Amino acid sequence: MTKSDSWLARTPLQVRFRDLDAMGHVNNAVYLTYFEMGRVAYLDLLGLDDPSRSYVERFPFVIAQVTAWYRSPAVLEDELEVRVRIPKVRTKRFDFEYCIVSGRDQRLVAEGMSVQVGYDYETGTSASLPQKLVDRIVELEGSQVLEEV
């Protein structure tokens, strides 16, 4: 699915009772929260977790799209791991890719992706990503993730 085979951020997740639907499976909408938890771990790797900086400085982008593919059900007893990487970065956007596996048997539970777009909070329009952010992504993932527009 990506040019890279490594997952830089790996976050363990314990399925909670409140995550379940009436059938005893993790509800489909909960997977977006699981993706978010993995995304936050990756953002920490990028160095965006400095609380002395403003929200706008720390997160110069918004999420434009999220997609999930459900591969097998997760249940209350499952201990999951969400894995995250960035397979592609452009001038104004970058993608996160997600993989959730069961810790017991490494069974694939869900896959997903999200598109983040550079954003100017003052004008409410898209903007180029800060070069410092692009450089840090390339430092972590390698130059193969750079995609010309």
Q: Is residue 4 part of a domain?
A: no
Q: Is residue 149 part of a domain?
A: no
Q: Is residue 47 part of a domain?
A: yes
pTM across the whole model: 0.91
Report the C-alpha gap between 48 and 61 in whole angstroms: 12
Domain interval for residue 58: 9-141
Q: Is residue 108 part of a domain?
A: yes
Q: Is residue 88 part of a domain?
A: yes
- CATH code of the domain containing 117: 3.10.129.10
Q: Is residue 135 part of a domain?
A: yes
Looking at every residue in the chain, the average pLDDT score rounds to 93
**Angle between the 30-46 and 131-141 helix axes, to the nearest 10 degrees?**
100
Q: How many structural domains comprise the chain?
A: 1
- Confidence tier at 23 by pLDDT (50, 70, 90): very high
- For residue 36, the model assigns a pLDDT of 97
